[in-house]
Structure 1
């Protein structure tokens, strides 16, 4: 598979959104911005968000909804890669933000859930009803770790619930093509979980002591970051340290690995283009946005702009 470098010099890009005009809107966590990358690779800052903007998605109103983890510290790994070992010194919780793509105005919708601070909102997906599921990764501060959760919220800021708690570093999140199954990936356990959805914001109780249905556990220290779902229902997992994409069939757990050459921090991917086979991949540690022609079409999301 051929990977084209669409943009370089980004400051830890994540959360790519393939827009209808062919551009990609993404966050730069280290720069603390929402940024648009044109189809020709030009970069323009849409908004300054502060903290640590992470996952992003288009809502039913055409605005961008951003999971903000509240801020990270940064250091350089061998080979020139940038990574984060934990929270920034000024971290005091995360948030969900809404950004107007036309004006660049930023509004904070949520900073709490069930009376608890949002620790580090990470990734987000909208359902057909116009609400959104998101992961709260939790937070690592010195020798203390806050546990993570799966949450659901209304796009107008009127309601938020914690649907699943606790979880171990939930990161990527996505919906099955029929909208009845929620997928969530745990970074530190390298596990992909599936949950049956009973109603917006309501997950079916697990049938045993596990949090949900275990779809797959990756081996060889492949830590899972974000995910995207294909039109055929398979789940694409972006992985750290063995930088690549694992395509998992949820019906049987079979996996096909796609290597992303010369990368160790492959964090996110999204699908776009007329046939939904243009894959856009963030390689955060080196500040790159790659483009590739994917063999299978991605699932068209419920909202775009």
Structure 2
């Protein structure tokens, strides 16, 4: 690991970090079947018991979290770990009191659905990647980017082959998307669930692109997963490589309000931080479903 400090250890296959206003970082623990918060001092507490395998998280307009839950699958050495509590892949809402509800309608395309990552667009639409049957790579089917409205209805979908993965909106208002099996990052125009044609932006020099994020200056940070590094791009050019070290498997990242880049390492179970002195790109937010006690259509887990 080069230039990074350890924020927390003992996380259970961490993914999907999200910076929160109190200075904590929410982390999806795939093999913990939960979403947790890591305090600035490194303390870890569970925010929501999700079941399955929470794969990505994003902050909502009211401080709630939204989780892409792939249903109960993660890598484990040369095989796969399967959750004790399997469930259909879905999008979940974790309210501030810890209540977990499912807010997505039936996702388009054939099962199994493997929701992977998610982010809000400028108009409050929630975009979710469905990586499809990645447990069967020789016969993996096309995945999708799915757009969800405020009631969880599907507004539109874009079919993307070769395992769509992490995604984020850039400062130009376009959607940036990791395509893991081609080692590429794609960019596409989208509004309200209506997608344009994806274009190739960059190809990673090593590893497979997983999660990604932007800073306020427009630099793009892409976790190289099995390449054990975070690759930094500006204007479509590689400008830096942040090594995490062999045996780490960086899965996703976010820029915090304290100027640090937070990175989840799946194999070590750590949340680490690179002190880069950069500002975060303000993220879009929205709301899907309804808080507990309202008349919304969310369904409680289990």
TM-score by length of 1: 0.85
Q: Per-residue deviation at 1:302?
A: 2.3
Counterpart position of 2:63: 62
Per the alignment, do residues 127 and 184 of structure 1 end up closer, same or farther by CA in structure 2, a change over 3 Å counting? same
Per the alignment, do residues 87 and 213 of structure 1 end up closer, same or farther by CA in structure 2, a change over 3 Å counting? farther
**1:227 paired to 2:220:** no
Q: Per-residue deviation at 1:200?
A: 1.6
Contact 1:111 1:117 in 2 (8 A): no
Partner-residue secondary structure (3-state), 1:286: coil
Contact 1:73 1:89 in 2 (8 A): no
Q: Per-residue deviation at 1:74?
A: 5.0
Per the alignment, do residues 261 and 86 of structure 1 end up closer, same or farther by CA in structure 2, a change over 3 Å counting? closer
Worse overlay, 127-136 or 182-191: 127-136
Contact 1:86 1:141 in 2 (8 A): no
RMSD: 2.3
Per the alignment, do residues 92 and 145 of structure 1 end up closer, same or farther by CA in structure 2, a change over 3 Å counting? farther
CA offsets per residue over residues 239-278 of structure 1, 9 Å max, x none?
A: 12221111122x343442221234440111111125xx21
Q: Per-residue deviation at 1:53?
A: 0.5
- Aligned pairs for 1:190-269 (under 5 A) are 190-197=183-190, 199-204=191-196, 206=197, 212-220=198-206, 222-249=207-234, 251-269=235-253
Counterpart position of 2:172: 178
Counterpart position of 2:271: 289
Unaligned ranges ≥5, structure 2: 287-302
Number of residue pairs aligned between Structure 1 and Structure 2: 284
Contact 2:52 2:84 in 1 (8 A): no
Partner-residue secondary structure (3-state), 1:10: coil
Counterpart position of 1:168: 162
**1:122 paired to 2:116:** yes
CA offsets per residue over residues 47-85 of structure 1, 9 Å max, x none?
A: 1100110110011232100000001155346xxxxxx64
Contact 2:33 2:83 in 1 (8 A): no
Contact 1:59 1:155 in 2 (8 A): no
Worse overlay, 112-121 or 170-179: 112-121
Per the alignment, do residues 128 and 140 of structure 1 end up closer, same or farther by CA in structure 2, a change over 3 Å counting? closer
User: CA separation in 2, counterparts of 1:20 and 1:90?
Assistant: 31
Q: Per-residue deviation at 1:216?
A: 1.0
Per the alignment, do residues 252 and 178 of structure 1 end up closer, same or farther by CA in structure 2, a change over 3 Å counting? closer
Partner-residue secondary structure (3-state), 1:188: helix
CA offsets per residue over residues 100-143 of structure 1, 9 Å max, x none?
A: 12x11011011523475571111111122222111111113456
Q: Per-residue deviation at 1:89?
A: 9.0
Contact 1:93 1:111 in 2 (8 A): no
Counterpart position of 1:110: 104
TM-score by length of 2: 0.86
Per the alignment, do residues 232 and 7 of structure 1 end up closer, same or farther by CA in structure 2, a change over 3 Å counting? same
